[in-house]
Amino acid sequence: MILYDYHIHTEFSYDSNIKGNDLMCKAISLGFKDIAITEHLDLLPQELSVYGLPSIQKYLIYCQQLQAKFPELRLRMGIEIGDYHKVKDFAEGLIRGYHFSPILGSVHFLSDHTNVAIPLAQPLDPSQIEDYYIQNLELVANCEIDILAHLGVYKRYYTSSPCESHVRHLIDQILRTIIKRDIALEINLSSLRKPYGNIIPEPDILERYRTLGGKKISIGSDSHHIDHFGLVSEAVIAHTHGFEMPRLD
């Protein structure tokens, strides 16, 4: 299997301190052949008011310079668009004319504005869990993305699996939709570094995806620190058996 990682944040993301040169050097030393920097494009008002709007042109030049300096490693200029379905017109206007590959779609905020990508003050209640998956379904049904990122992200700081029996039908709808729309499902490794201690989505959801006819899996470390990059274990790779990598330009 080709060693790759299609979900990495570097210094162009407000919450990452990874330097591009350090990332490329480490990737080469570990035998990676293909990686994608996928900086945040978070466009909700509460995000823009704090972090501002990144320069896409500067990001393009940054990636081009890294690729020129390290030609032995395939570097993809990707993007993670947070809550894409809520800012679709604005986001599409910003990225028009640029070739991002891959485009990751992710859900960070619930309808009640709870940020599920950070430690929660208390576990989500059943209605909030339902809302989380409804948001993901709207995302994959309505936005042009290559990869659905970190499905189940709200669980990262949990210490045990929450009951999701009441949303299994929504999870199935999400999986069927990404299969129909040729969107890859990400195996996100960030929860392995957090209290949850498991990949997301979990192996049982991956198996359900396979049963429904899903074929495309993408591995993403979701790295924000250099020490988090490169921790793709044999156990994780085993979960990709029988699946395909996303076909990206």
Tell me: the pLDDT tens digits for 186-209? Answer: 999 999 999 999 999 999 999 999
User: Two tokens at 122?
Assistant: 């208390």
- Domains annotated for the chain, with CATH where assigned, are 4-238 (3.20.20.140)
**Tens-digit pLDDT profile for residues 82-138:** 999 999 999 999 999 999 999 999 999 999 999 999 999 999 999 999 999 999 999
Q: What is the pTM of this model?
A: 0.96
pLDDT at 237 over 70: yes
